[in-house]
């Protein structure tokens, strides 16, 4: 089956790991099927949309390995939205309403007081030409509502819109399974604002039709929009696509993610030195049954994608888990895979031999540099109880070049002379020579520290 999917962010901020989840699920879904991925900028909100954010989104997607097959901008498609608007008006499916937000609010409060659901009563549909003219003479301009087909005879273009009745819209959600929403429980949505601009609903459906989107996969905050959108697809003479609504991510304290929260932005994670595949693996595999593991590449991750395995409740994003996945990837990298990220003279030109020693101790590739610098510059850490022992160690350092065997020869001899063993034998040396309590195998590290520095760090 061929598929066309889309990722439709508004360029009003940097995308975060939750947005990346939507983008990746769509991308992998398309890859599984040899399909097409459309990046659609929902930038009709001119005041909040910014070009720098649009570019940032493309940059962050590229970092994750997503290269859209097609890029579209809603701001360039107003003629299409105007045509669809005219079509709906001609069909009698858009009607003018003149209520102000205050008036609507008061109406909802009256409904609530009477125990009625806050559904718009279609008052606009009752207005006569004179009443409309009177509103316009007052300086009001209408907003336009979509007449939902939730009354007998609606699909045949007749019936009584003031007697709504239960009208089930159903779809088999790719993630959530069979879904049913009653259109009679919903207000006719505003498709065109007073100022002639369109809220998200109509442009989205028009684009999905024009770009032949076969599957809309997005966060489950859009479930409630789906019934209206299905009705709108049908009103515009199109067959609705498939829908899938995945769970959302929340941060460690259980709050939803927001574009305003910079910390989990893809850009910040990239700048912080995380591997794209660690971020991508976590973004896709959390909140899905099966283990969360670091996949080597997007092909391998695509094999793990199973929309039906996605949980129905929100998933918690945990930085510690990201560190764990990142470390897994880093520990498996060969020097040839990372060497390009370091300057040619990094690690004293001995990256090839230093990398395999250090990689096991780091979380991010870049951490290797700090290790190296630490090794080159560290101040000895010498406890009072160890001073004498370390002075003895200095005396007993094997002569000649320090090689990978030097450490065991040195410590074996020291053990005998000092009577120390285990931690008491090794830890003072490690601390004096590396400044740290943990780290790579000392035997392998020692040649990099070299005789001169070893001597300088011992009392």
Q: Which residues form the interface with ligand GLU (CB under 6 A)? A: 8-10, 42, 200, 204, 216, 218, 222
State which residue, 200 or 211, has the beta carbon closest to ligand GLU.
200
State which residue, 224 or 391, has the beta carbon closest to ligand GLU.
224
Please give the distance of CA 305 from its chain centroid, rounded to a whole number: 15
Tokens of 132: 């409309």
**Residue 443 contacts by C-beta under 8 Å, 6 or more apart in sequence?**
404, 405, 406, 407, 408
Residue 99 CB, nearest approach to ligand GLU (Å): 26
CA–CA separation, 64 vs 69, rounded Å? Answer: 15
DSSP assignments along 83-129, one per residue? HHHHHHHHTT-EEEE---HHHHHHHHHHHHHTT-------HHHH--H
> Is 217 within 8 Å of 7 (Cβ atoms)?
no
Tokens of 60: 């962050």
Residue 288 CB, nearest approach to ligand GLU (Å): 19
Residue 8 CB, nearest approach to ligand GLU (Å): 4
State which residue, 134 or 224, has the beta carbon closest to ligand GLU.
224
User: Tokens 């609010």 belong to which residue?
Assistant: 105
For 223, list phi and psi in degrees, rounded to 5. -55, -45
Residue 200 CB, nearest approach to ligand GLU (Å): 6
Residue 208 CB, nearest approach to ligand GLU (Å): 8
State which residue, 4 or 204, has the beta carbon closest to ligand GLU.
204
Residue 201 CB, nearest approach to ligand GLU (Å): 9
Length of the chain: 459
- CA count, 13 A, side-chain hemisphere, 113: 6
38: helix, strand or coil: strand
317: helix, strand or coil: coil
User: Alpha helices, DSSP H only, in 114-200?
Assistant: 123-126, 129-137
State which residue, 56 or 447, has the beta carbon closest to ligand GLU.
56
71: helix, strand or coil: strand
51: helix, strand or coil: helix
State which residue, 205 or 288, has the beta carbon closest to ligand GLU.
205
| 70 beta partners | 38
Residue 36 CB, nearest approach to ligand GLU (Å): 16
Residue 103 CB, nearest approach to ligand GLU (Å): 28
For 344, list phi and psi in degrees, rounded to 5. -55, -35
CA–CA separation, 56 vs 45, rounded Å? Answer: 17
State which residue, 44 or 406, has the beta carbon closest to ligand GLU.
44
Residue 218 CB, nearest approach to ligand GLU (Å): 4
User: Tokens 């660690």 belong to which residue?
Assistant: 278
CA–CA separation, 3 vs 11, rounded Å? Answer: 25
Residue 9 CB, nearest approach to ligand GLU (Å): 5
State which residue, 8 or 284, has the beta carbon closest to ligand GLU.
8
Residue 204 CB, nearest approach to ligand GLU (Å): 5
State which residue, 68 or 351, has the beta carbon closest to ligand GLU.
68
State which residue, 200 or 233, has the beta carbon closest to ligand GLU.
200
φ/ψ bin of 250: left (φ > 0), alpha (ψ from -120 to 50), beta (otherwise): beta
User: Tokens 């049913």 belong to which residue?
Assistant: 180
Tokens of 404: 């990978």
Please give the distance of CA 196 from its chain centroid, rounded to a whole number: 33
State which residue, 20 or 368, has the beta carbon closest to ligand GLU.
20
């Amino acid at each position: 089956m061929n598929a066309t999917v889309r990722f439709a962010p508004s360029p009003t901020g940097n995308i975060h790991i939750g947005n990346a989840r939507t983008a990746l699920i769509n991308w992998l879904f398309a890859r599984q099927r040899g399909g097409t991925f459309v990046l659609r900028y929902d930038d009709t909100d001119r005041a909040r949309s910014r070009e720098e954010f649009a570019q940032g989104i493309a940059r962050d997607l590229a970092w994750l390995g997503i290269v859209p097959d097609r890029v579209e901008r809603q701001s360039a498609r107003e003629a299409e939205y105007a045509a669809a608007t005219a079509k709906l008006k001609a069909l009698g499916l858009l009607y003018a309403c003149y209520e102000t937000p205050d008036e609507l609010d008061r109406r909802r409060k009256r409904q609530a007081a009477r125990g009625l659901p806050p559904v718009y009563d279609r008052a606009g549909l009752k207005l006569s030409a004179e009443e409309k003219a009177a509103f316009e003479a007052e300086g009001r301009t209408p907003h336009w509502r979509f007449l939902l087909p939730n009354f007998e005879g609606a699909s045949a273009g007749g019936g009584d819109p003031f007697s709504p009745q239960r009208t089930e819209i159903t779809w088999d959600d790719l993630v959530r399974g069979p879904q049913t929403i009653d259109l009679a429980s919903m207000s006719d949505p505003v498709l065109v604002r007073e100022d002639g601009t369109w809220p998200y609903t109509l442009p989205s459906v028009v684009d999905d039709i024009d770009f032949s989107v076969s599957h809309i996969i997005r966060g489950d905050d859009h479930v409630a929009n789906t019934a209206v959108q299905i009705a709108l697809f049908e009103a515009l003479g199109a067959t609705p696509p498939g829908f899938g609504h995945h769970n959302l991510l929340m941060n460690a304290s259980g709050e939803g993610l927001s574009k305003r929260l910079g910390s989990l932005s893809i850009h910040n994670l990239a700048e912080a030195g995380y591997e794209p595949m660690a971020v991508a693996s976590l973004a896709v595999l959390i909140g899905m049954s099966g283990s969360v593991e670091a996949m080597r590449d997007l092909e391998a991750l695509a094999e793990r994608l199973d929309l039906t395995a996605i949980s129905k409740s929100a998933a918690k994003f945990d930085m510690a888990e990201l560190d764990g996945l990142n470390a897994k990837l880093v520990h498996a990298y060969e020097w040839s895979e990372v060497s390009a990220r370091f300057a040619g003279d990094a690690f004293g030109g001995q990256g090839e031999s230093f990398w395999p020693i250090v990689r096991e101790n780091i979380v991010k590739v870049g951490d290797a540099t700090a290790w190296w610098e630490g090794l080159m510059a560290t101040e000895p850490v010498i406890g009072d109880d160890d001073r004498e022992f370390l002075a003895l160690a200095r005396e007993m350092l094997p002569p000649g070049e320090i090689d990978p065997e030097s450490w065991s020869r040195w410590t074996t001899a020291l053990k005998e002379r000092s009577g120390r063993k285990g931690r008491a034998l090794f830890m003072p040396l490690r601390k004096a020579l590396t400044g740290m309590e943990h780290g790579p195998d000392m035997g392998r590290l020692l040649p990099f520290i070299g005789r001169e520095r070893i001597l300088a760090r011992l009392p």
